[in-house]
Amino acid sequence: MPLDTSTYDLALLRVDGRRWNELRRLDGQIRTQAAADGSSYLEMGNTKVMCVVSGPSEDKRRGQTSASTATGSNAADVAVSVVVAGFSSVDRKKRGRGDKRIQELQTTISKALASNLHTHLYPRSTISISLNVLSQDGSLLAALINASTLALIDAGIPMTDYLVACTAGSTSSYAANDDRADPLVDLNNQEEQELPFLTMATLGATDKVAVLVCESRVQVSRLEGMMAAAADACKGVRDFLDQVIREKGHKMVTEGTIEKGASMAIEIDA
């Protein structure tokens, strides 16, 4: 179903009434699952994901035979599994375990987080992150990355900075080579179908790019504008995540829910 992007030029408003640099409504919670080491729930518009982190825990499988520990890297593994619920999108689609798109998502998230987390503090162990997609409405990879960041903070695993992600697109399709193409941020499903877009994850408020994924055709000259818009949007997302964490922390202090043991959950070896 073609999306009528022509109205954008008139009112500078997108199909859902947002301006170009406006994020959708964000809603986040942490420590949603009592049984997990860390957990989070994140909504970016109608994209809803849940994340559960367990670990770092000693890996039992890693005996004599296996081991990335065998040479060189004496750091924890980050194992990510993404489950997309059958009811998450409009048409019910069954995605198998071997789906290459899901595997690619998992690898991307795992590699991005592994370079951000201080995995060397946990030799011979595994941090397992399981992500559940409850509802899809665009910016899926971005939502997954943001949710895992929240859950990892909840789990108390030391990291360099927030790893935050957002999508950015460009109005007008690849064929038209007009200079007036405006970048858009945080695309929904309808816009993703129609416009070229990329997903970018940055480290906190810096311009350092951990993940950059683009799957649609777009002019090279358009790239810079889109990346700049995405970087700005990432800063907005970072502020939001920070706020979620701080509010939760504040609440825990005022309610006195911080038990004696909780603050000692991680012991960094001296």
Partner 1 sequence: MPREAEPSLNERAFVVQALQEGLRLDGRAFDQFRGLDLKFGDHYGVADVTLGKTRVLANVSAEVTAPYIDRPFDGIFTITTELSPMASPAFEVNRPTETEVLLSRLLEKTVRRSNALDTESLCLIAGQKCWSIRVDLHVLSHDGNLIDGSCLAVVAALRHFRRPDTSIEGETLTVYTPAEREPVPLSWLHSPFCITFSFYGEEGEIMLLDATLLEEQLRVSSCIISLNKHGEICQIAKLGGTPVEAVSLIQCASAALTKGKELSTLLDQKLAEDSKRRDKGGLLAELSAENER
Partner 2 sequence: MAQQTERIFVLPGDQINPSVIPSHPKRPLKLGPGLRHIPPSELLPTVAGQLVTDYKKNSIWVEYNGGRYIPAVGDLVIGTVARSVVDYYYVTLSDYTSNAALPQLAFEMATKKTRPQLNPGALVYARVTLANRHMDPELECVSATSGKAEGLGPLNGGMLYDISLGMARRLLMRKSVEEGKVVVLEELGSAGLAFETAVGRNGKMWVNSESTKTVLLVGRAVQETDEKNLDAEQQKKLVRKLVKEMS
Sign of the dihedral through C-alpha 160, 252, 76, 270:
positive
Site string for partner 1, 236-255 (x = CB under 8 A): --------------------
Q: Is residue 227 within 8 Å of residue 215, measured between CB atoms?
A: no
Which pair of tokens denotes residue 46? Answer: 């109608």
Please choose, out of 121-129, 132-140, 184-192, 200-208, the segment that lies near partner 1 by the rule CB under 8 A.
200-208
Site for partner 1 in 66-125 (CB under 8 A): 66, 68, 70-72, 100-101, 103-104, 107-116
Does 193 engage in binding with partner 1 (CB under 8 A)?
Answer: no
Residue type, 138: G
Q: Largest alpha-carbon pair distance within the chain?
A: 66
| Interatomic CA distance for residues 157 and 204, integer angstroms | 16
Site string for partner 1, 134-173 (x = CB under 8 A): ----------------------------------------
Cα 128 versus chain centre, distance: 15
Return the one option of partner 1, partner 2, none that residue 74 interacts with (CB less than 5 to 8 A, by type): partner 2
Closest to 164 measured CA to CA, from 82, 243, 107, 98: 243
| Interatomic CA distance for residues 30 and 262, integer angstroms | 15
For the chain, the first-to-last Cα distance in angstroms comes to: 59
Return the one option of partner 2, partner 1, none that residue 202 interacts with (CB less than 5 to 8 A, by type): partner 1
Please choose, out of 25-33, 38-46, 50-58, 198-206, the segment that lies near partner 1 by the rule CB under 8 A.
198-206
* Sites of contact with partner 1 (CB under 8 A): 66, 68, 70-72, 100-101, 103-104, 107-116, 174, 198, 202-203, 206-221, 223-224, 227-228, 231
